[in-house]
Every structure is written in structure tokens, then in C-alpha cells.
Structure 1
């Protein structure tokens, strides 16, 4: 079977929202080339033997990023795996919000990423502003291990400090940019099978209304933000008003930003 035919067959058997894309990413991984190179040069090649096993893992709802061991985010490629939240394209809205805020300036000098996971937001921000440095905090040692590896692979190890911690507890100093993608799913909400079965629940759920972690994070923002700085928080699409109210209670000014799908995705606090 050719690469083209194997991809087409796999796309009929994978039951995700993006079966064709999933099949193409898995095939590119099996071939050891980029997806672009595969589409341009390898569609007529024989399909590699290992592809079928990768497809079976995807049919069992294992995330593509766990199978391939990496996920692209913003302008960087991140190593990911079991025990860390897979970076989502919607989270790029946080970096877009930060870029818009600092447009026309030298950008932030110090960044803080609360709940950094594999370093997703912090490393994307440092890639955007090469003169900046930052601190990443996470309660998971597994996630911090990925973050350390990603920082080293991207040549940012000397610009990053990674700490085990409970949100902003023990964090001192001021930051021009604070990034945070906390858990925001209510405990009664339904999740897709791949998220429910594979991704860490501690990175997803935050009490009955999904707001528990915002209630802990937002009160610390005024002491952590440098003058002229901004905090950028990811939210669930129904939580804009509630998180904005918490930001106002903390004495900061909120604004809501939508993702590419037109849904509320970010609350900024300045």
C-alpha cells in the first residue's frame, strides 16, 4: 500500500474531529519527515510497517501528540507525553494577546508562567522576545521534566527558571508578563474520550464551576505585576464575566479576548 492509500484508509477508521490530519501526522512521524515534506515528496512511497500500529493507538483515543512525542505551538515545537496537558491551538490566543499589548515597545523583560506544563506559554513568549527571561511554575514534576528538556532543546535553558510550586505561593518579585492556563473545567462537565482517558485530570478540573483556581491565582496578581505589566489568563468560553469580576475585585482592569473560533478565550488583567 502506498503512503497516500494508507492515509486514506486510516482516515476512515480514526474517529476524531480531524481524522485526515491525524493520519497525515502519524504517517509523517512513521516516515521520519515533516508533514509538508511527506505531502510533497512521499505520497507514492510504500507505507512504512510501523504506521498501522500508530493508527491503532489513535483509534484507541491516545492523543496524536503523545504518539508522536511532540506538538507544535506558536513558533516552537514542544516535546510532550503522558502526564502533561497537550498544548492546544486555542491557547495561542494568550500569546497573541501579549504580542498585541506590547506592540511598539521593547516587550517584556521578565515573564511568569503559572502552571507551565511542558513550558508551553513561557517558551513561546521567550521565543517571541529573545531578550526576555522568565520563571515557570508547576505542581507536577513530570511536567517540569518536559519543560526543562524543552527549554534546553530550544536553547533557552539559561533564560528560564523552573520551580515546583502551588501557583504563585513563594513567588516574589515583579513581572511584566504573567501567563496562566489553569484548570477551568467544572467537575460535572463531559469530556471527549481521549482527554478523559489520557490527559492529567489535575490540569483540567477546578471545582463545580471551574473557577476554583482563578480564585487563588487572581488575588496574587497585583503584587506580582510590574507597573505597566499585564496578566493573560486562559478561560473557558462561558467564564469571561466571572473571571473579569474576580480581576476587578483584585483592583485590576479586565478585558476579554476571543479565539479564532469567535469564543471568549482570554481575560487580561492590567
Structure 2
């Protein structure tokens, strides 16, 4: 019977051969998932035996990862803002840079949140989890994505404060909100071919607008007059070259205090504005 240490070596070898960076680290993530233990325990179990079916499962998962499938799809979850979110191929994989938007949104109080293109619900649910009295709505055009977001709301105990509606941007929305947030599809169609192979496993409609990457921001800006309360804020994630264009759209929509915020790498990441 194989040991955990031998299984780690075999899985890491498969990942490295598939071009996965950090193969050893990701091998320990796969073994932890298969064995049902925390990842930091795997290194302490190197001499423990591994059942043949567990080894076979680990190697099958490694083959999927080596073929480019994201680790979040393999494990079925991703950590975001200190919480675990269910992730499937129907939603965009929550990423650390999106936490910049969450952090900025939490700088001021809010009671009613609108999340446009909510996907997994990670932005809306993270905000509601940090503000006990707040309520929110997530608009999402994809019914399968809404099903994932609703599972996340239930898992986090937020089902009573978060609602998800199938809608093409504001089409099915009434009312105003004091905070509007969005991580819309912002990759231009001509940039798609150069992206990491993992992104091929994510919903393409959540990545690109099929055009210049700015159509979502035009739609968002057009609806702010009807749906952003006086004094309310809007925050959107952007691509690193889109700051000036999105800021101009917000200014043309009559917002004030428009600003572009960088991420931890110094790249433009979030545009904010106030009505």
C-alpha cells in the first residue's frame, strides 16, 4: 500500500508535467481534499498509508488539474474574504483582487446593497456578513449561477437578508440602493486568447462582453440615476487599463468623488463614485 508521502510525490509529478506552478503545494491541497484533513496536516502524515481508492481519486483529480481545470472546481470551493464559497463551472472563480472592492465598500456604512452580475454571490454575501443589519439583492442573468449563490447564502446563514433575481442588468429591478457594487465582464474579446488556460473552464459571459470590455460599465452607469440613492456609492472592479474610461462614464452620469483605486500590486482595480 502506498504512503501519503509517495502519493504526494506522484501527484506533484503529474501536476508539474502538466505545467502547474506550485505543483508541490497544489498536490498537498489535493491530498488534503481526498483524505478529508486540513492541508497543513498532510506533511505530518507522510508515513501514513493511503488506500488504493484514495490514491486513484487523487490521481484522477491531479489529471484534471494538469489539464487546466481550476483548483476551485476540483475541490468545489474557494476562500474569499475569510469565508468558504461554493464554486462550480457556472460561476466566476472568486479572486483575491476582488477583495479590494469589498474592503473599499466597507469603509462607509450602508443598509441596502445591490450587486450587479452577482455570480457566486461572494461580493454581496461578504458585505452582508460584515454588516449585520444590511440587506441586499444580487442581479444575475444566469439561472445556474443564481442556484450557486443561493447555496452560498444558505451555507453562510444569510438567506434571510440576501435575494437573487434573474435579470439582464437592471431590467427587473425597482427601487434605490445606498450601495451598488459589481465585478462585471470586462475583458475585451481580442484579449481572451492570451488569458490563462484556467479561464477556459469559467463561464465566458462572466469574463468578456464580446466587445471592447466596457459595455457592462455603460449599462451600469446608465441605470445609476434610477437606482442609486442620493448620497449613495457605486464601486466596480475594472481591468488594469480601464480606469480612465470607466471614471469618465461615471462622471458623465453625474457622479461626484469619482476615484480609481489600485490593488496590492499597484494596478488600477476599482472605480468608485457617489451620487
TM-score normalised by the chain length of structure 1: 0.91
Tell me how far 1:170 sits from its aligned partner.
Answer: 2.5
Q: Is the aligned partner of 1:116 residue 2:118?
A: yes
CA spacing shift, 1:4–1:244, aligned 2, 3 Å: farther
Equivalences for 1:39-188 in 2 at 5 Å?
A: 39=43, 41-47=44-50, 48-49=54-55, 50-100=57-107, 102=108, 107-188=109-190
Please give the secondary structure, in 1, of the residue aligned with 2:190: coil
Q: Within 2, Cα distance between the matches of 1:259 and 1:2?
A: 42
Query: How far apart in 2 are the matches of 1:30 and 1:9?
Result: 14
Deviates more, 1:1-10 or 1:83-92: 1-10
Mapped contact 2:11–2:58 kept (Cα < 8 A): no
Q: Distance in 2 between matches of 1:7 and 1:261?
A: 32
Residue 119 of structure 1 contacts residue 147 of structure 1 at CA under 8 Å; is this kept in 2?
yes
CA contact (8 A) 1:222 1:252 kept: no
1: CA distance, partners of 2:251 / 2:102: 22
Query: What's the C-alpha RMSD, in Å, of the aligned pairs?
Result: 1.7
1:230 aligned residue: 233
Structure 1 alignment gaps of length 5 or more: none
Q: 1:45 to 1:263 in 2, by over 3 A?
A: farther
SS at match of 2:88: coil
CA distance in 2, matches of 1:44, 1:132: 49
Q: What do residues 54-73 of structure 1 show as CA deviations (whole Å, max 9, x unaligned)?
A: 11110111111111111111
Q: 1:43 to 1:200 in 2, by over 3 A?
A: same
Q: Is the alpha carbon distance of 1:156 and 1:188 closer, same or farther for their aligned partners in structure 2, counting shifts above 3 Å?
A: same
SS at match of 1:188: helix
What SS does the corresponding residue of 1:157 show, helix, strand or coil? coil
Quick check: 1:26 aligned with 2:33?
Answer: no
Distance change >3 Å, CA 263–CA 4, structure 1 → 2: farther
SS at match of 1:16: coil
CA shift digits 1:39-85 (9 cap, x unpaired): 5x434433442211111110111111111111111022111112211
Deviation at 1:8, TM superposition (A): 4.4
TM-superposed CA distance for 1:3, in Å, is 2.9
Give the number of equivalent residue pairs: 263
Mapped partners of 2:99, 2:106: distance in 1: 11
Structure 2 unaligned regions, length at least 5? none
Cα deviations by residue, 1:219-262 (Å, 9 ceiling, x for unpaired): 21232222332111010011011111111110113211111122
- Which structure has the larger Rg over C-alpha atoms? 2
